């Protein structure tokens, strides 16, 4: 999913969360988590292309899945499970709940919209397949 789409959806959901709870920290943490999860794409890009930075090339390669290996370290259901456990096992706090909500919506939207293999957003699955894009995204099969 494109950055602009994540920005729009994260903003909209955060506005809904704020309207329901009147809690700025929940809304802001949800928005930030829903967008900043994509920072892991920089690692994949630099690992693939070396330490060069061309913003147009970065967005082109990421949005068109032109990187050969997808580590996507923060895009994983294992990390989502860890966040669920943190929220469940710690005292209720709007910040952690917001992070969980933003992270969850981002991961689910990516799973639906990116044509990923059903297991493609499990870090263990990617690791077992050498992080090769052809095993993660259906378009490369």
Residue 137 has pLDDT above 50, yes or no: yes
pLDDT (tens digit per residue) in 34-74: 999 999 999 999 998 888 888 999 999 888 888 889 999 99
pLDDT of residue 138: 66
DSSP letter for 1, please.
-
Distance CA(11)–CA(5), nearest Å, equals: 10
List the end-to-end C-alpha distance of the chain, in Å, as a whole number. 19
Largest Cα separation within the chain, whole Å, is 46
Residue 141 has pLDDT above 70, yes or no: no
- CA angle, 96 then 71 then 2, to 5°: 70
CA distances from 131 to 44, 99, 102, 125 (A): 10, 26, 25, 8
121 phi and psi, to 5 degrees? -100, 15
Instruction: Report, as an integer, the average pLDDT of 2-21.
Output: 95
- pLDDT-derived band at 83 (thresholds 50, 70, 90) equals very high
Average pLDDT, the chain: 93
pLDDT of residue 76: 97
């Amino acid at each position: 999913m494109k950055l602009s789409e994540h920005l729009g959806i994260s903003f909209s959901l955060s506005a809904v969360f704020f309207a329901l709870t009147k809690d700025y920290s929940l809304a802001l943490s949800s928005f930030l988590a829903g967008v900043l999860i994509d920072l892991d794409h920089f690692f994949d890009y630099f690992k693939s292309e070396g330490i060069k930075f061309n913003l147009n090339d970065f967005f082109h390669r990421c949005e068109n899945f032109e990187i050969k290996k997808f580590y996507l370290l923060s895009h994983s259901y294992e990390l989502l499970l860890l966040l669920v456990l943190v929220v469940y096992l710690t005292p209720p706090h709007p910040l952690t709940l917001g992070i969980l909500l933003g992270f969850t919506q981002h991961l689910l939207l990516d799973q639906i919209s990116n044509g990923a293999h059903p297991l493609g957003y499990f870090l263990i699955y990617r690791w077992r397949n050498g992080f090769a894009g052809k095993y993660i995204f259906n378009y490369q099969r």
